[in-house]
Structures are given as structure tokens and as C-alpha cells.
């Protein structure tokens, strides 16, 4: 995002009273001009560095957000296949090696899937950073959970085109205006990244650091540019940490998604192509494959709920990378991967 660098002109020197004072005035003018140029270059370098790292980090977060929505949108197909299997077990909560995953709940997964599919289509033209904002906030699942039905009472999944988009935006805005909500306008603001974009990734501090005008006084301008440089370096350190943790999370998410989609495809073949819909007719290998598919879906759902960023309480502070929760869920994912990778 281009940020204005307003450099005021140096005040004109009043008429010289003699050659000596004229030379002195010329030297002072040159020094002031040189200081202003140094200040401008320092400010420009700091802003350019911020923009570069902001773009790189936001692109990564957008990739994660879209990947999460894609995973969640697949849960409807997954649930429909599972529901066709008669006499199947209940697939209770998974508790092992410190990993806790809830019972399989088909209706919850279907609601999440419906909302994710619409949201995934809706962010195509949204502001840069929108999908990343959802991922950063852990709002991917909380937002889409609300999209199971439009505020008019019509299921969004039964809508299409403009009607589906409008219903989605109204719900993101807290409901229709008639129902006391913020309506489509507020929903558009939310979807457009007004509260989920760079402000969520970094915090209000970025605007204080890079959005101020430089003073028209040389010494003040240089001090101000130095402060900007210091703040930007702090923000860049945060971006580096978020990128490092984000890459680790994305790799873990991709690894589990690959295992899940393999089993989803196999399960689809068994149930829909081979028309094997009785649990008792499944081979032991097919049963294990199904149980592992449910396990992987539950793990992916849990991973998509994780907030990658914890919002700062104060606008003058940087947000924090949620390292503890990210490390825990990626550790769980590693354990599950080892358990299922060589199994059906």
C-alpha cells in the first residue's frame, strides 16, 4: 500500500547582510537539504521494506485461508458418503497421546461445508488479505458456521447466484437490516477485509509507523524517519515470525489434507461406485480406511479453527503469533500422520 511521504520545502533564507553571513546561510541551507534527503531516503527504505514483507506474509496467509475453506467445503461430500453407510459405528471422540478430537457430527460438518463453499466463492473478488484475515483470526470456521441458513430462513445451499451472495453478506453483517442486523453493507465490509485484513495481521501500530507525514524541519524529519525505521524493523520481525510459523502450519495442514483426500476418494469409490453401503459388508481394510478418514476430517476441522494470530488489546501494540496453539495442533497432526500414513 503506497504511503505518502510529504517532505516540506526548506524555508527561504532572508536577505544576506554581507558576504560572510551569506556563505554561512548557504552552508546551513545545504546541510538542511542534505538532512532532508537522508530523512526521505530512510523513510522510503523503511516503507518499501514494510510493503515487501507485508505482501509476502499476506500472500501466505491468503493461501492458508483459501486452503482451509477448500477443506471445509469438502465436508458435505464426506458426510453424505458416511451417511450412506448403514450399520456404521458412531465414530466417537478420539483421545490418544494427548490428542482430543470430538465425536463425528454430520450436521455440524454439513453446515460448515455449506458456508465455506459460498465464502470461498465470495472472496474471489474480495480485498487482498481477506482470506488470510480469516485464517489469522481462526474465523474460517466461526464465520462459516453462521452460514448454514440465511436470515430469511431459507437455506443458503438452496440459493444460487446473487441471492446466495446477498444472503451470505447479510449473515456476515449480523442479519438483514429488517431483522436488526448490519445487513449486506456491514457483511461486505467484513468480507472485504475491513476488520480481517492487515489490521488484524499486524495491528494499529503499522499506521502510526508508516502513515505519518515527515516534518518540514530537517532535524525533526530525520528523527521521525529514524523512529519509522525502528518501528518497521519491529514489524518485519513479527512478519518473519508469522511467516515461519505459518509455513510450518501450512505444511502440516497440507500433509493431513493429502491423507484425507486419498481416503475420501477411496471411500467415494467403495460407496458410490461399488455401491457397498452396509458396514457389515466392508472388509477390515475398508473399515480401517473409513475410521481413518473420519479421524483425519476431525483433525482438519480442528486445525481450521486455530487462530494463527492473537489480536493485541492495544492499538499501539503488535499482535502476537499464536505459537503455543499452532505448535500443539501441528504436533497432534504429526502423531496422526504417523499412525495413518501406512494404514488404509
301-339 tens-digit pLDDT: 999 988 888 877 776 778 889 999 999 999 999 999 998
Q: How confident is the model at residue 273 (pLDDT cuts 50, 70, 90)?
A: very high
Going by C-alpha positions, the residue among 260, 185, 158, 198 that lies closest to residue 58 is: 198
pLDDT digits (tens, 9 = 90+) for 84-105: 999 999 998 888 888 888 888 8
Q: How many residues does the chain have?
A: 344
Task: Tell me the sheet residues that pair with 94.
Answer: 101
For residues 235 and 46, the answer to whether their CB atoms sit within 8 Å is no
| pLDDT for position 44 | 84
Q: What is the 3-state secondary structure (H, E, C) of 318-334?
A: CCEECHHHHHHHHHHHH
Q: Where are the domains of the chain?
A: 53-340
| 327, β-bridge pairs | none
Residue tagged 547582510 (cell numbers): 17
Residue 69: count of CB within 10 angstroms of its CB: 29
Q: pLDDT tens across 116-167, in order?
A: 777 777 665 555 666 777 677 665 555 566 554 443 455 555 555 556 556 6
Integer Cα distance of 244 and 253 in angstroms? 14
Does residue 246 have a pLDDT over 70? yes
- Over the stretch 161-202, which tens digit does the pLDDT of each residue have? 556 556 655 655 554 444 444 555 555 554 444 334 445 556
Does residue 283 register a pLDDT over 90?
yes
- Residue of 119, 126, 2 lying closest to 55 (CA atoms): 2
Other CB atoms within 10 Å distance of the CB of residue 341 = 11
CB atoms closer than 10 angstroms to residue 108: 17
Q: How far is CA 152 from the centre of its chain?
A: 29
Q: What is the model's pLDDT at position 143? A: 58
Q: What are phi and psi of 233, to 5 degrees?
A: -60, -35
Hey, which residues does 310 pair with through a beta bridge?
Answer: 320
Amino acid at each position: 500500500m503506497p504511503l505518502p511521504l510529504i517532505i516540506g520545502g526548506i524555508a527561504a533564507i532572508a536577505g544576506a547582510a554581507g558576504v560572510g553571513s551569506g556563505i554561512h546561510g548557504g552552508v546551513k541551507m545545504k546541510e538542511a537539504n542534505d538532512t532532508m534527503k537522508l530523512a526521505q531516503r530512510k523513510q522510503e527504505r523503511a516503507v518499501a521494506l514494510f510493503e515487501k514483507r507485508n505482501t509476502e506474509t499476506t500472500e501466505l496467509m491468503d493461501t492458508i485461508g483459501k486452503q482451509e475453506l477448500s477443506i471445509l467445503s469438502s465436508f458435505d461430500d464426506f458426510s453424505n458418503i458416511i451417511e450412506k453407510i448403514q450399520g456404521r459405528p458412531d465414530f466417537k471422540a478420539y483421545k490418544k497421546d494427548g490428542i482430543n478430537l470430538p465425536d463425528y457430527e454430520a450436521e455440524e460438518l454439513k453446515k460448515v461445508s455449506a458456508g465455506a463453499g459460498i465464502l470461498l466463492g465470495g472472496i474471489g473478488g474480495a480485498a487482498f488479505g481477506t482470506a488470510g484475515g480469516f485464517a489469522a483470526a481462526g474465523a474460517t470456521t466461526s464465520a462459516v458456521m453462521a452460514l448454514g441458513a440465511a436470515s430469511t430462513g431459507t437455506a443458503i445451499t438452496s440459493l444460487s447466484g446473487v441471492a446466495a451472495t446477498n444472503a451470505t453478506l447479510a449473515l456476515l453483517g449480523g442479519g438483514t437490516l429488517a431483522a436488526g442486523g448490519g445487513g449486506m453493507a456491514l457483511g461486505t465490509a467484513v468480507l472485504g477485509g475491513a476488520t480481517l485484513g492487515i489490521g488484524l495481521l499486524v495491528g494499529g501500530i503499522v499506521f502510526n509507523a508508516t502513515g505519518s507525514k515527515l516534518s518540514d524541519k530537517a532535524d525533526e524529519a530525520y528523527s521521525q524517519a529514524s523512529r519509522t525505521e525502528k518501528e518497521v524493523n519491529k514489524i518485519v520481525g513479527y512478519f518473519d515470525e508469522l511467516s515461519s510459523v505459518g509455513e510450518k502450519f501450512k505444511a502440516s495442514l497440507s500433509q493431513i489434507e493429502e491423507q484425507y483426500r486419498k481416503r475420501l476418494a477411496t471411500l467415494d469409490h467403495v460407496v458410490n461406485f461399488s455401491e457397498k453401503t452396509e458396514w457389515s459388508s466392508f472388509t477390515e481394510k475398508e473399515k480401517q480406511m473409513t475410521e481413518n478418514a473420519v479421524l483425519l476430517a476431525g483433525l482438519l476441522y480442528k486445525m481450521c479453527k486455530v487462530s494463527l494470530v492473537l489480536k493485541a488489546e492495544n492499538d499501539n501494540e503488535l499482535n502476537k503469533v499464536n505459537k503455543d496453539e499452532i505448535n500443539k495442533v501441528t504436533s497432534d497432526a504429526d502423531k496422526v500422520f504417523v499412525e495413518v500414513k501406512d494404514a488404509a
